[in-house]
Structure 1
Amino acid sequence: MGNVDEGPAAWFDIVMNGEYNVDEDPHHPPANVEPEPILSAIQALRSVTSWGVDQYPNAGHVTGDGQTFLTRFELDHFSAYRKLNLYYPFSTLADWQMANFLLTSRLSMRAISEFLSLKLTKTLPLSFWSAKELHSRAEMLPLGPAWRFRIVPTTTHPTKQPVHLYYCDSLDCIEALCNNLLFAGKMDLSPYHLFTTAE
């Protein structure tokens, strides 16, 4: 169990001691550098297959820098607190684990408040003591695309219960994907047509 705490603690020590340089991290490429085109990989694939490629190299290019999720996370007004406490708005890893369990469980707010009011629970070093306080701390965390739902009217095929369609806004999902650090510097904006030849 000691390994669970050593990872974040070791990372936190590296960041606090200034030994971590974001500019040298391969997962944080410079934002203003246009990604290497994928066409070289396609040309290599073309040489061993019968695929053809029509290239349009000047059709798309990077016009400005955007912010990744991590950049937005570091620019919000709580980033100074996160430099001192990796788990902010929660106090420790154990505090975050308890909050995560309660937030992802199917317990009602009343059940969470009753659980937090138990004598045994009050002995724990938690940073929240009611469901309302827990939810207010969770709302301080950055959000992803919001889930929505719509009741679908069924006229042709009647159902016993109304049909609920759960979805996310597609533009919010695309924005979240484009802001993801895994894709930073790896998106090719130049279109190409890949096709098989008759040879």
Structure 2
Amino acid sequence: MFVLSIDVGLIHLGLSFADVNDDGTLLEIFWVDLIDITTYTHRKSGKIVSESQECPLYHTRTISDWVDHFIHENKPFFEEADVILVERQPPNGLTAVEQLIFSKFRAKTYLISPRNVHSYFNLTSLDYDQRKVYSEKIASRHIPDYLAEQMTMYDRVHDIADSVCILLYWCNKRKKAHDIDERRRRHFGIFHEDGLTTFEKLERFRY
């Protein structure tokens, strides 16, 4: 499955896009990016085009219009993603960005608490600057070489790294759930030649 992970921001929104096995195993991170959603780039075939000619969206200085353009500019990732992970914001954070993305892709979006991510990676005792360093180290272990080179071009890497950490946290939860399901299946029945467990075969004769 394809998973899009987003570390919420306005000027520094971190994004990563990955292929993940159904059991939660991370196969490969295909793409990362750091985006200033307040800038209307109107990219098309690598060129900036006239908004009046090409863009049907509104262009006011509002979070709603910024998010619309962010989604429009990254439409292939949002459409191809089977799962979208969005960093859950604190009450005084960028909740508008979080909720606008969440509402547009409600059926496949999960809000991920940064506290849970920090706890999973044992980062809760660190301050902000220390967490930045460690999140970059964690992400670097999973970023392929061609993307690692690309990341050197960004002025801030930890926002992208945070999106990767969100992805890794979710993969771990997915894997744990998968392992529990597998243990239950092994515990509650032996598979027969037809692929059904004893309980599933008996279920066929229920009235």
TM bucket, shorter chain: under 0.3
Higher strand share: 2
Compare relative contact order (CA 8 Å, sep 6+) and give the higher one, 1 or 2: 1
Q: TM-score, normalised by structure 1?
A: 0.21
